[in-house]
Chains A and B, each alone.
Chain A
Amino acid sequence: GQQLNQSPQSMFIQEGEDVSMNCTSSSIFNTWLWYKQDPGEGPVLLIALYKAGELTSNGRLTAQFGITRKDSFLNISASIPSDVGIYFCAGHQGAQKLVFGQGTRLTINP
């Protein structure tokens, strides 16, 4: 099925560094959602974006809905060890069905 193009696929950073990841698509999306998945768990919603250009923060996390509605980014500032995990972008195209990115695996060196 269709997937969003998410990059990078993996990141290895030092604790305290900022992180940036993004998703792009050739299609327009009505909603962009960012999730974090810990090993052996289901994804947990971090941020939801509903309007083109919308910029939303959740603590140290900031995400934006691209103005073209074909992309979104997620930034994490001042990373801490518990930020380790896999981050997924996802989008609604109209129906309730979600399309997912391939995921960004974040590893943090203390």
Chain B
Amino acid sequence: GAVVSQHPSWVICKSGTSVKIECRSLDFQATTMFWYRQFPKQSLMLMATSNEGSKATYEQGVEKDKFLINHASLTLSTLTVTSAHPEDSSFYICSAPHGDRGRLQAFFGQGTRLTVV
């Protein structure tokens, strides 16, 4: 299957600083990538759709100025959590779709555990 690599796997930052998370498709190109947030013992909640060469599409209730998304190439999307606060602590996961038309599959990165202190 296709490989999606996410970096870093964990990060601890001070309140008020910004953190960048990278999501790379290693062996395929992805014009679209998705960013999720997952709280303990809960399902994945879609935050935004990252579109190569254009603006990201944010889900309702997600602050676009807080969670900056850049999809500058066909293999890389980044999520920057700006002015992080303890309530931003969570598990962030990216995914990229891959496959033939009508047989799409979503491949996920390893996730990033963000802890804001």
B73 interface contact, C-beta 8 A: no
B113 interface contact, C-beta 8 A: yes
A97 interface contact, C-beta 8 A: yes
B44 interface contact, C-beta 8 A: yes
Partner of B49, one of A33, A35, A92, A97: A97
A107 interface contact, C-beta 8 A: no
A97 to B93, CA, bound (A): 14
Contact present for A42 and B104 (CB under 8 Å): no
Contact present for A42 and B34 (CB under 8 Å): no
A48 to B107, CA, bound (A): 12
CB closest chain-B residue, reference A88: B43
A108 interface contact, C-beta 8 A: no
Interface size on A, residues (CB 8 A): 25
Contact present for A98 and B95 (CB under 8 Å): yes
Interface residues on B, range: 20 to 34
CB closest chain-A residue, reference B4: A42
Closest CB in chain A relative to B45 CB, distance in Å: 7
A3 to B46, CA, bound (A): 11
A100 interface contact, C-beta 8 A: yes
Known: A42-B109, A42-B110. A98 touches B34 (CB 8 A): yes
CB closest chain-B residue, reference A50: B103
A96 to B100, CA, bound (A): 12
A44 to B107, CA, bound (A): 7
